[in-house]
Structure 1
Amino acid sequence: MRLIDPHHPFYRPAWRRYLIVAAPFVWAGVEWSSGNTTWAFLFAAIGGYLAWHLVLNWRPDSKD
């Protein structure tokens, strides 16, 4: 089961992919600084999952 479809046209602009990946990491930092380590690890894991699919394994379509 895929939770995110990286081939959707919404994810074509690079700035949008990087912003979507950065948001959970920023929130993980907020949670970590508040002492909520469980939520920090959860959001860091979400950010890692998004980074894997939207940045590290990004394959542009042939028409891009």
Structure 2
Amino acid sequence: MKFLDADHPFFRPVWRRWATALFPLGWGAFELSMGNPGWALLFGAVGAYAFWVLIFKGPST
């Protein structure tokens, strides 16, 4: 079982894949601007992983 599966029917609409990838990155930028580098790193890593799986690699179909 994959942690984040780009082939799941929930991620069929492209906007959901982009939102799932960009929201944590944006939140990480917000946390960094508020002076919380630990949370910024955490959310940045989650967003980067989501971007890699959902956008860069994308669904296999």
TM-score (ref. length: structure 2):
0.90
Greater radius of gyration (CA) = 1
Provide the secondary structure at the position in 1 that maps to 2:6. coil
Report what 1:32 is aligned to. Answer: 32
For structure 1, list consecutive stretches of 5 or more residues without a partner in the other structure: none
* Higher relative helix content: 2
Report what 2:23 is aligned to. Answer: 23
Aligned-pair distance for 1:59? 3.1
Amino acid at match of 1:52: W
Amino acid at match of 2:8: H
Deviating more after overlay: 52-61 vs 27-36: 52-61
Give 4+ residue runs of structure 1 displaced > 4 Å after superposition.
none
Aligned-pair distance for 1:2? 2.4
Report what 2:41 is aligned to. Answer: 41
The number of aligned residues is 61
Distance in 2 between the 1:16 and 1:23 partners? 10
RMSD across aligned C-alpha pairs, in angstroms?
A: 1.3
TM-score (ref. length: structure 1):
0.86
